[in-house]
Chains A and B, each alone.
Chain A
Amino acid sequence: MTVDAQADGAADGPAVSPPSAAATDLLRAALPDALARDDFGNLAVLLRHARAGCWAFALYNYVTAREQVAAALKQLLAPLPVFEWTYAPHDPHPIAYLNQLSEAEKSQRAIVFLFDFERANADVWKALDYNRELFSAHPHGLVFWFTPPGRARVARQAPHFWAQRSGVFDFAVTVPPTYEQARPLVGPQISLGDKEEIQRQLRLYLGMLDDLAGQDDAPPLFVAELHDKIARLAYYLDELPLSRTHAEISLQLAREQQDMGLEANVRKALGDLALREADLAAARRHYEAALAIYPGIGARLGEANVLQALGDLALREADLAAARRHYEAALAIYPGIGDRLGEANVRKALGILAIKEGHGDEALRLLNAALTSYREIGERLGEAGTYMVLGRATDDAAYFERALALHAQIQSAYDVAVDSYYYGLSQKKRGDKQKAAALLIQARDIWTQIGLPMYAQIAQDELNGLGA
């Protein structure tokens, strides 16, 4: 084989040099069962040398082991970039994920891990078959992580896709991971840095619950906290039914364990869910229950957060006096505990309140103060949300565009829909019916996709008003 042929097959991308034998030996010695076998090295060999792209199946039976293998593979394959896609009901097709990569990412060699197909319905599995030639058009090494039942399912439901795999690599282990092995993988707090990281935590914690099922050594409080983390991560990924299921389990376990702090946190999470679903009465019930607990256990941050949530609720109910009372109570707490994010959030909320009260100058002062704080602490979600509010306050398209761009970058579908909706209303006011219709359609479709039909209907009503 000549150099020419290699160059033809290799898409542009970082050069990949194999790890030294010593490095590999060291890695193996330190790794548990799933990593010590040949399959680990062989999968790396395939991904490194299938230069025109390929797909392979990696088998696992415990998520804890899967995440260890995935993390070790990333290290071994560096500097090849590794992307991760996780199945979600409103993001069910991996080909859509590959298509939304940047042009550079699409053309460069990279590895893509694809997780959690077992949570998908039959249509998603069938789509693997129909999209097989679209997968083969990508120069990426695609690793589909399947359980043993998933292996059978892909062969039955996507036989053509299955027939084009480059290999099956087995990381199933005979002994389930113990609590002691699982515990270090769980962080004290959830991390909301970016979507892939949120998805990683969600699939790890969901899988960890399965791994630990039936094991006596897992403390109930650890399990309750896992459910709470899953509920909050699912909420940020707009998987609301999943979030509710785990929040309710966590609440029950917290009560059984008499952990007041966890109970209050779960109550707050359930309130957020209810508010997202426009069930204002339920939101109030949960928030007030949380507020009754926090001061008694000295949880000042929790108390401030729930006060702000009650302010948001009052604002939704157009009770401006109550909203101001709650926001100001929250603002009295945040500086004292050094929480700059909470403080910025309240200032933004007060800015919105000022708009409603007709105090435009005051609103702009508060929103700009919030914006400055968000930028200083690198909080892009807050920054994007403030642009959206500024857009609403001024009808300046530039603010909406910045909000949309940032929310899209963060991949927050719900917020992109909110931006599109208010931007659409603003364009309608300005008489650009075509642009208004396009934005409202976008908002409607996203809300429909993420399971919020009541908001989708509101967008549709506005579209009907446009005659679109």
Chain B
Amino acid sequence: MVSDATIGNDRWGLNPAIQPADNLEDVIFLFNPTQPLDGEYLRFYVNRGSPARRDMLTWLRVSDLKRGQPIRLLFTGHSGCGKSTELNQLCQELRQEFFVVKVSTKVIIQPTDLMAVDVVLLAAMSLFKQATQEEVIAKAPAQRVSDVWQGLVNFIQDRVFGKLPYRKPGEGLELGAKVSYLVFEFEAKYSQDAPTREQIRQRMADRLSEVVERVNDLARFVRAATGRPVVFVFDDTDKPDRERARKLFFDNATTLTSFAASVIFTFNIALWYDGEFKLFRDYYGQRILLPNINLYAHNGDRNEDGWRLMERILAERMHPMMITADARRALIEASGGLVRSLIGLTQFAAVNALGRGAMRIETPDAERAVAELRKDFTAALEAKHYAALAARHADKQLSSDPETQELLQGLALLQYSNGEVWCDVHPVVLQLLLERQP
């Protein structure tokens, strides 16, 4: 069994030249709230001890790898809790044992327009492309490979494009290259040519079982050739708004779960609280929540493990000399245990420090970053919100009511879990709340 990555080792073939920042310019670069860790930057990954990634690994190994029973996982968590980095790390760890196909729908389809037919088609094309690019061919009989590739070429040309105009691959190309070419042509047409996309959607909506069958055939072939089961990882199916996500996951549950390969879907957390979810959750097997990091316990006691974890996240990316202890404390406190918030606040504090000509982040730099966050919340929150926040601060109860969900989406309210799931007011908002209470 592969253990968790530890910082500093090269288990994942990471570039040892990338080191924690030892100047403010590099702090600004490395603490980027828009970029989850991926590739060689996973060197900075910190195992947060949450069961989420461990559970996904275990389910995949026990169910699919050992028993040959593919599983479907819904992976959720609040915006900024670190889902993308956890998924990237998971994919890295799975690659030895699984044929990981990461499907990114966002580069082809706007989340506002994402439909089940897109999910199935894009998964299929991602698998086709990856199977021709990886050395599947080297591990299977040549004639069999040739038949499979020819089948895919025919399928894309005849069934997907049909009579629609598209650029045909050159006759001289080998079959595997033809598949790659046609997938590229499909992705270009599907992303840039709305009328063609609509026509393909209409054609394929009634033929999804045919697409799924192709996927399943190829998944079986890949498994037989490489010994690795296929696992699809969708890292952006949590991006559509609640209504579109409901249509996607509830109205098309049968379609989305029809692959004979394991699938991890990221899942809009708002649906987790949707009353209708209980009717569909069994389609998807396991549901995995990545909670925020607890800085305080339910009863308000300081949670030292959470603080140490946040300190490690900072220490992995920047040398300890780059920040004073007080500034570090202020940033962690203001993050509320939300990893992206900690990353963003640290970057902003580094900007403030460099802007005033300092060599490291000091308390005024952190305070200024926190002050801007506070102003953001002041601008965003309306009078009605404070009453709801005060109630949640008192009872710590999560619910599916729209106001609570709105406050969770806006991060004024944060969700935590330590066995039981509960919520509390963002620490920066708590200050505002206390000021407004009589």
Residues of chain A whose beta carbon lies under 8 Å from any beta carbon of chain B: 1-2, 4-6, 8-9, 38, 41-42, 45-46, 49-55, 126-127, 130-137, 148, 151-152, 155-156, 159-160, 162-168, 434, 441
A167 & B112 in contact (Cβ 8 Å cutoff):
no
Output the nearest chain B residue to A162 by Cβ-Cβ distance.
Answer: B376
Q: In the assembly, what is the distance between CA of A52 and CA of B36, in Å?
A: 12
Q: Is B21's CB under 8 angstroms from A1's CB?
A: yes
Q: A52-B35, A53-B34, A155-B380 are in contact. Are A45 and B341 (CB under 8 A)?
A: no
Cα–Cα distance between A55 and B32 once the two chains are bound (Å): 10
Known: A130-B239, A167-B347. A49 touches B33 (CB 8 A): no
Which A residues lie within 8 Å of B30 (CB)?
A: 1, 5, 9
Complex Cα gap A160–B344 (Å): 13
The answer to whether A148 touches B344, judged by C-beta atoms less than 8 angstroms apart, is: no
Q: Please tell me which one of the listed residues B28, B35, B377, B410 contacts residue A45 in the complex, with CB atoms under 8 A apart.
A: B28
Please give the number of chain B residues whose Cβ is less than 8 angstroms from any Cβ of chain A in the complex: 52
Min Cβ gap B199→A in Å is: 13
From residue B332, how far is it (CB to closest CB) to chain A in Å?
A: 17
30 contacts between A and B (CB under 8 A): A1-B18, A5-B17, A5-B18, A5-B19, A5-B26, A8-B15, A8-B40, A38-B355, A38-B356, A41-B355, A45-B355, A46-B347, A46-B351, A49-B25, A49-B28, A54-B32, A130-B110, A130-B112, A135-B34, A137-B107, A151-B376, A155-B379, A160-B79, A163-B33, A163-B340, A164-B34, A166-B34, A166-B348, A167-B344, A441-B195
Interface of A is mostly: helix
Q: Would you call B15 and A4 a contact (CB within 8 A)?
A: yes
Instruction: Check A156/B40 contact, CB under 8 A, given A45-B354, A167-B369.
Output: no
Chain A residues whose C-beta falls within 8 Å of the C-beta of B409 in the assembled complex: 159-160
Indicate if B241 sits at the interface (CB-CB under 8 A).
yes
* B23 CB-CB contact with A under 8 Å: yes
Give me 5 other A-B pairs in contact (C-beta within 8 A), A4-B15, A4-B18, A136-B34 excluded: A46-B347, A51-B29, A130-B239, A135-B34, A160-B409
Q: Which listed residue, B18, B26, B79, B376, touches A168 by the CB 8 Å rule?
A: B376
User: Min CB distance, A436 to chain B, in Å?
Assistant: 14
Q: How far is the CB of A464 from chain B (nearest CB, A)?
A: 16
With contacts A151-B379, A164-B340, A167-B348 taken as known, whether A1 is within 8 angstroms of B34 at the C-beta atoms is no
Which residue of chain A lies nearest to B385 when distances are taken between CB atoms in the complex? A156
A residues less than 8 Å from B18 (CB atoms): 1-2, 4-5, 8
A45 and B351 form a contact (CB under 8 A): yes
Residues of B within 8 Å of A166, CB to CB, are: 32-34, 344, 347-348, 351
Look across to chain B and name the residue whose beta carbon is closest to the beta carbon of A132. B34
Q: Which of B22, B79, B111 contacts A159 (CB 8 A)?
A: B79
Contacts of B29 in A (CB 8 A): 1, 5-6, 9, 49-52
Mark each residue of chain B from 134 to 169: 1 if its CB lies under 8 Å from any CB of chain A, else 0. Answer: 000000000000000000000000000000010000
Give the nearest-CB partner of A151 in chain B.
B379
Q: Say yes or no: A434-B165 contact (C-beta < 8 A), given A42-B351, A50-B32, A130-B111.
A: yes
Q: Is the CB of A1 within 8 A of B19?
A: yes
A133 and B26 contact, Cβ closer than 8 Å, known pairs A2-B17, A52-B32: no
* Bound-state Cα–Cα, A160 to B106, Å: 15
Please tell me if B302 contacts chain A, counting CB pairs below 8 Å.
no
A1 close to B347 (CB less than 8 A):
no
Pair A134/B376 contact, Cβ less than 8 Å? no
